[in-house]
Structure 1
Amino acid sequence: MSMRLPVTEHTSRPWRIHEIAPDFRIEDVWAFRTPGAGPDDFPAMLAALRARTAPQYQSWPVRFLFAVRWKLGALLGWDEPGAGLGGRVGSLLDRLPDDLRRSPGVNDPNIPFTPLYAVAEESAQELANKTVHTVCHLGWVPTADGEFELRMAALVKPNGLLGRAYMALIKPFRYLVVYPAMTRRWEQAWRDRAELTYGRVR
């Protein structure tokens, strides 16, 4: 099962995102089990996740929550083009050093995030609207048993009082609905991939 981790589990590691988004707040840090994973399996993990982003892989409570969110966004203008990247805020792509610009990651039409970079042990993607500018950071971390696991960190920069109120409002839904469903989907994505590649995993 996934596990929520202290922020220091993210800040203590030499992730490239630290130099890109030092002005963002770390909202959540989670670990996801990937039994049998080795040091070179991060690209395979990312591919397994992309294979599970289509709507049919989302649980109905998550689909309902996001449908409500997009409806509210449309009514309140949260997601208008001028409220997002290149409008209200500049993209973090403008902050990337040359080597990360050469590793842009893969765009996924099923999710609203824009890829920033994907390298051997980490990737990042961003999203901005009228409420927040946020980064989803994924990292590949060795475990005590010599295997590797997926880590996810959510970095946010709320847009004033509106953004802070929005983050407070969605917090219980993230912990009670979104993260548990994401855990099941992400860990199943790895198990399906690992069973096909290596045979039955532990």
Structure 2
Amino acid sequence: MRLPRSAHTDRPWRIHEIAGDFKVEDVWELPTPGGPDDLARLVDQFGSGTGSGVTSPVGRALFAIRWKLGALFGWDEPADGVGGRVATLRDRLPADLREGPRGPELSSFPFTSVYQTHDEWAAETANRTVHGVMHIGWVPDGAGGYHGRMAVLVKPNGLLGALYMAGIKPFRYLGVYPALLRGIGREWQARTGAGPA
């Protein structure tokens, strides 16, 4: 379920210290019911190489189109990524986060882990259009349980980035996010035996 931006901005996440110049683009409740210490299991799901959850034909097709356009227009060159066009957010981390766990290497996502705490995990990506952050928080559900919450933060790269974000918005809401959330939920249920949230 899509949530208001305040569902992310009103929580005392550490990411606010690091990515205050990024815009909160989207916030989603993840169908991942669990206990207070289960964020690590969810992060492991993302890091396992199968956590992308994009199993629907529509979702796969949209991602395939995006990668083809990126290749055609040169959006995804290494020089435009993290450590190229933009510095890694790890350079902004306070000492306690820099010395703590970073999070997994991600093989099925074009993201790099930035930091991980007991209730937060952040990973970043960059290309010619945007510098983006996927933030996964672990929050109480109000009924004694917990679940994941995903926020997407972006810093568009000039006019190209702004046009790109506007252009992909309907595809994100109609195809990408619904497929992604369903896939995350199915894999979470298969891994944990938890029923649907």
Structure-2-length-normalised TM-score: 0.92
> Aligned partners of 1:65 and 1:31: how far apart in 2?
22
1:135-150 alignment to 2 at 5 Å?
Answer: 135-150=133-148
In the alignment of these two chains, the number of paired residues is 195
Change in Cα spacing, 1:146 to 1:57, as seen in structure 2 (3 Å) is same
Per the alignment, in what secondary structure is the counterpart of residue 190 of structure 1?
A: helix
Contact 1:5/1:31 (8 A) holds in 2:
yes
Unaligned runs of 5+ in 2: none
Aligned counterpart in structure 2 of residue 23 of structure 1, from 5, 21, 24: 21
Of 119-128 and 58-67, deviating more is 58-67
2:133/2:154 contact within 8 Å kept: yes
Report the identity percentage.
Answer: 55
CA distance in 2, matches of 1:76, 1:135: 22
Give the letter for the 1:87 counterpart. Answer: G
Q: Which of residues 178, 181, 199 in structure 1 aligns to 2:179?
A: 181
| Structure 1: segments with no counterpart, 5+ residues | none
The 1:54/1:44 distance shift into structure 2, 3 A limit, reads closer
Q: How do 1:1-202 and structure 2 match up within 5 A?
A: 3-35=1-33, 37-51=34-48, 53=50, 58-102=55-99, 103-195=101-193, 201=195
Distance in 1, Cα, partners of 2:59 & 2:52:
10
Segments ≥4 residues shifted beyond 6 Å? none
Displacement of 1:75 in angstroms is 1.5
Q: Which moved more, 1:79-88 or 1:169-178?
A: 79-88
3-state SS of paired residue (2:83): coil
TM-score, L = length of structure 1? 0.90
